[in-house]
Structure 1
Amino acid sequence: MRQRGEAPVRIANCSGFYGDRLSAAREMVEGGPIDFLTGDYLAELTLLILWKARQKDPTAGYAVTFLRQLEEVLGTCLERGIRIVTNAGGLNPAGMAMRVRQICDRLGLQARVMHIEGDDLLPRLPSLLEREPLAHMDTGQPLREAGIQPVAANAYLGAWGIVEALEAGADIVVCPRVTDASLVVGPAAWWYGWKRDDWDRLAGAVAAGHIIECGAQATGGNYAFFQEVPGLEHPGFPIAEVAEDGSSVITKHPGTGGLVSVGTVTAQLLYEIGEARYLNPDVVTRFDTIRLEQDGPDRVRVWGTRGEPAPATTKVCINYVGGYRNSVTFVLTGLDIEEKADLALRSLFAGIGGREAFEQVDVQLIRTDRPDPPSNELASALLRVTVKDRDPAKVGRAFSNAAIELALANYPGFYVTAPPGSEDAYGVYWPALVPRSEVQEVVVTDDGRTIPVAQPPAGEASAPVEAPAPVRAPRGPTVRVPLGLVFGARSGDKGGNANVGVWARSDAGYAWLAEFLTEDRLRDLVPEARPLRVTRVLLPNLRAVNFVIHGLLGEGVAASTRQDPQAKSLGEYLRARVVELPARLLADVPEPAASQNA
């Protein structure tokens, strides 16, 4: 058993979302030496899912899959001194902690189980609104003017509650809505005894936490150049070896599938970020200072990260029930696709009172058909119709039955992709900020005591970051090729916004990318972004450009009517667009997988 303070502290991840690979916890514990096992189960959408679970069972509200994983590894973790830190507590960390203790009793094991509270602001919301506007971070509208009834309001907590629990002797720390990176920052800060104003160390740990929080995305999962990744059928999960100075090495257990490279780590650093100043409750991490270098096979060193004092506010994830919705997807085949779509729409709405009968109607004609199609499927397009209303009767069977009644009386070749369905309640995400002083975080020990968690201190911002000397963009003959032949990308959701980060493999490639891929150019390549606000951030150390497309996802993932409501495929769409590329940059094209793995 290693002693606290020995460097590096080895922090392993076994979950990137609620529903991730169940065997990952066992694989991380049995695959090699680690000091901490962490798991991230929460997202903005997950909190709404857990709220729905609590409506059926008031004792629910946590990620039950964690309990199944825990049973497989608990004995080994206690034997080896591996501590467990997870945010699987969700909306009910006390309930999760109780279930963990029941598992310990059933297995005849003794473990100190503690949980954290203080993120749930819903009971205090009326009094809080007397002092704070809780304005929507994107629209600026104050919550009290919105006329909505929130069902959940959870502040993002930081790492110091985890530190306090570990200091009190916890073997297992059950967290509610802490930030994803806090699952790494807390163990590292406790292990080394960092102070609350060790800004650069804390920022380095935030970078490491952001890299491993999504599990196998750091080891080759969802990677743009996936052909380079061996064993992608079953990639290993990531480990952050965090040093005392906050730098880290990202790796995985030997012999596992996947790849840890500067590319895979860069991709994950770009996932779901906005500005270069990445705000966490404990520190502001300057993503424009992060440096990466390959440190051996499946080892990437992350260093140079600068931190600034923690922000005076923390984010609050507010969810409310927006109403009900229903969808039907008509398949249109062969000739006259647009005319068939028009007929289907006119006929559908004529039978249910017109479009104006619903609060919202979304129609998408997805042209997947081809001329002279070589197969029946490639002759088909999809017409997806979604209706929303606060009255469930309007969008329930009355809507779906009206669609099905057209089956023998409408366009030729009529069929739909699924049987008629009932209405489904959907949630809306409302991001807001609240002063840190309004958050009363405590650790609840295994004997029922509460330990208050102090807020980070105030401080001054770091000196301006010096940008690397610019490299001249290559000139000369060009070729028309897909952007993704040379450049990687990763995209995701940030509430109602989408981010897409694009990175280069060489300094020359980055110089061209930074010059070429402007906000206006992105709007040209992604037509859906043309009417929306687009912001761009340059990250020279990562050879990357990050964009945020504001409002692309509407009111958030749970309410979005997009085919891809989390913008997971947006980066791959951008990479598929054909551009005029300097021929010299074709040298950055990766070699085929066969030679890479030879």
Structure 2
Amino acid sequence: MTLLASNYENDPIDVFAGDWMSEGNMTVRAGSKIDGAGQVDAYEPTFLEALEPALPYIAKYRIKVAVNAGASDTKKLHEVVTKMVKTKGLTLSVAWISGDEVLPQLLEAQKRGELPFENICTGEKLEDWQFEPIYAQAYLGGLGIAKAFENGADIVVCGRVSDASPVIGAAYWWHTWQRSDLDKLANAFVAGHLSECSSYSTGGNYSGFKDLETLGWQNIGYPIVEISHSGEVIVTKNKGSGGEVSVNTLTSQFLYEIQGPWYFNSDVTAILDNIWFEHLSTNRVALRGVKGDLPPPTTKVGITAKGGYQAEMHWFITGLDIPAKARMVETQICTLMGPHTSNFSHLSFQTIGSVPLNPTNQNSATVDFRVIAQARKSADLAPAKFVRPCIDPIMCAYPGATPHLDLRQAFPKEIFEYYVTLLPQSSVSHQVHLPSGKILDIPPPFEAKVYPKQQPTQDTTAHAVDLKSFGKTVESPIGTIVHARSGDKGSDCNVGFWVRHQDEYAWLRNLLSAPFIKKLLAEEYKGGRVERCEFPGLRAVHFLLKDHLDRGVSCTSSIDFLGKNCAEYLRCRVVDVPQRFLARGKI
């Protein structure tokens, strides 16, 4: 924040919109709040680290700030920020938003039998969930932020507003839009999505990263969205920074986290079928083709429960016969652990990595053998029941047997289960708390639209072309010419693929059918539903892998706990690539 605010005279910005929330810290902060009984800070402290040195510039240039760093303790964060501003002798007005904490409303509605509260990832009903909810947060829209700015607030701190809501709220306030301005709101919504993840839009987590090395890997910039009164959006970045804003970097960020062609927010639904990006000039790209529709009558709710405990232990296996060596130590560990495993809710043995033929150094010839267990009680993962059985085979194990000597992860740590469902917006008490003490109510949408449970999906393209028509092929990793990006939403994983040229897209959309993606996933396919959609304006095909990620980031047993490496795994899978496409050069 200081970098951008201090450079205002050369590169002005009007509003800082910050997204500090993820499904990972939602559960952790919820646990802190419940366990700490108000004595533990359950907001995001890194926001204060960013804010404090920037405050003099924010005050000098009257830059507005809207963030969701309140996590599970927005009121307390408001008090801290207010005190910080006062201590510095600055005249900045600080407001806060409430209404995201909805556990009482949810439990009351469940008790009355009003709604089944189905898990939108798994279809499970809340009454069948084996865990007891301790906390629930609804995703709020941006109109509370807009109302706070309208009433003179300079800084607005929120809890679980949606990732894009700070941008929606800022644009709504700045341009004095109305709820009926759906196309404008939808464009601001997508602009918020493009900027919410910071440097993801300027080259972070981008499969074309090698092209950015000469532009500066060490100083990848921050995206800036320019939103006009008519809702037109241009994306750029702060001057002098590395990375780039391009059609490809924005496509990468766009495909991350979406669930299909309908993108829902409490304020608007963005219809994405015809989205495309227009390159205007270096580091200036316009958003095109987004349309708005009414918001749904519900909003997303994340429910946290204590899930028990987890422990893991690692061995290093080197050289030849990796599967046999892994099988040997697994057998020995299971024998020693046997009396205790009946109390485990999960136990798995994972071989991570592989050894190349004729390796030239020992590290490349070494894989990580991971043992991971979960249990409802900490005592069931006590050292005698987990870490000792894991490490005791050391003298009788495979040749070269070497356990990791850092055993901190081998002792039980608390994990949290996360359940995603929907709550009527009418059940949410969305309020703005102004510095004067005045409280303003933000009503739910006056009009809403009920959408089908499942997004539009097509297993195969409607533009069928014989793959043989693309000419001679060469076996090659699909990622040699295809970009991809993936991410998590609860236990769902989404992955989008796109190409650089139109004729490549005709090939891609025909190659990537729902059955083919299951084949491409190979042993990683978990048997769940696969939803598929196309974005012709982006030359992209997107897949939603339902319930693919083992319950989500806060309790998963996978090392790909954010789903981000699903795309990179799929990019290295070998397919028949038309030779003429490869001749254009690899990504």
Would you call these one fold, judging by a TM-score over 0.5?
yes
C-alpha change, 1:498 and 1:340, in structure 2 (3 Å) is: same
Residue in 1 aligned with 2:436? 447
**Structure-2 separation of matches of 1:194 and 1:94:** 28
Query: What SS does the aligned partner of 2:216 have?
Result: coil
Residue in 2 aligned with 1:386? 372
Matched, 1:536 2:522: no
Q: Give the aligned residue type for 2:268.
A: V
Residue in 1 aligned with 2:216? 231
Note the alpha carbon deviations across 1:465-511, whole angstroms, 9 max, x for none. 9x999696762122222211211111111110111111111211111
Q: Give the aligned residue type for 1:408.
A: M
C-alpha change, 1:300 and 1:194, in structure 2 (3 Å) is: same
Residue in 1 aligned with 2:29? 50
Residue in 2 aligned with 1:495? 490
Query: What SS does the aligned partner of 2:281 have?
Result: coil
Q: Give the aligned residue type for 1:312.
A: P
Matched, 1:585 2:564: no
Q: Give the aligned residue type for 2:285.
A: V
Q: Give the aligned residue type for 2:225.
A: A
* Between 132-141 and 40-49, the greater mean CA deviation after superposition: 132-141
How far off its partner does 1:31 sit?
Answer: 6.1
* Between 238-247 and 70-79, the greater mean CA deviation after superposition: 70-79
Note the alpha carbon deviations across 1:19-66, whole angstroms, 9 max, x for none. xxxx65657757610000111100111111212433346351111111
Query: What SS does the aligned partner of 1:405 have?
Result: helix
C-alpha change, 1:60 and 1:140, in structure 2 (3 Å) is: same
How far off its partner does 1:256 sit?
Answer: 1.2
How far off its partner does 1:348 sit?
Answer: 1.4
Aligned partners of 2:296 and 2:449 also within 8 Å:
no
**Structure-2 separation of matches of 1:586 and 1:89:** 49
Residue in 2 aligned with 1:595? none
C-alpha change, 1:414 and 1:587, in structure 2 (3 Å) is: closer
How far off its partner does 1:155 sit?
Answer: 0.4
Aligned partners of 2:171 and 2:227 also within 8 Å:
yes
Residue from 78, 103, 109 that aligns with 1:97: 78
C-alpha change, 1:455 and 1:330, in structure 2 (3 Å) is: same
Residue in 1 aligned with 2:308? 323
C-alpha change, 1:27 and 1:422, in structure 2 (3 Å) is: farther
Aligned partners of 2:526 and 2:548 also within 8 Å:
no
Residue from 392, 402, 405 that aligns with 1:405: 392
**Structure-1 separation of matches of 2:310 and 2:179:** 46
**Structure-2 separation of matches of 1:351 and 1:155:** 45
Matched, 1:552 2:548: yes
* Between 166-175 and 124-133, the greater mean CA deviation after superposition: 124-133
Question: Residues 175-190 of structure 1: matches in 2 within 5 Å?
Answer: 175-190=158-173
Residue in 1 aligned with 2:115? 132
Aligned partners of 1:557 and 1:565 also within 8 Å:
yes
Residue in 2 aligned with 1:340? 325
Residue in 2 aligned with 1:3? none
Matched, 1:298 2:283: yes
Gap regions ≥5 residues in structure 1: 1-13, 15-22, 592-598
**Structure-1 separation of matches of 2:432 and 2:39:** 22
State the TM-score, normalized to the length of structure 2. Answer: 0.92
How many residues are matched? Answer: 567
Question: Residues 24-43 of structure 1: matches in 2 within 5 Å?
Answer: 26=5, 32-43=11-22
C-alpha change, 1:52 and 1:134, in structure 2 (3 Å) is: same
Matched, 1:366 2:352: yes
C-alpha change, 1:128 and 1:572, in structure 2 (3 Å) is: same
Q: Give the aligned residue type for 1:246.
A: G
Aligned partners of 1:50 and 1:90 also within 8 Å:
yes
C-alpha change, 1:417 and 1:158, in structure 2 (3 Å) is: same
How far off its partner does 1:311 sit?
Answer: 0.4
Aligned partners of 2:95 and 2:434 also within 8 Å:
yes
C-alpha change, 1:351 and 1:441, in structure 2 (3 Å) is: same
Residue from 60, 67, 74 that aligns with 1:86: 67
Identity %: 35
**Structure-2 separation of matches of 1:460 and 1:60:** 38
State the TM-score, normalized to the length of structure 1. Answer: 0.90
Q: Give the aligned residue type for 1:534.
A: V
Aligned partners of 1:158 and 1:179 also within 8 Å:
yes
Q: Give the aligned residue type for 1:383.
A: F
Residue from 277, 282, 286 that aligns with 2:262: 277
Gap regions ≥5 residues in structure 2: none
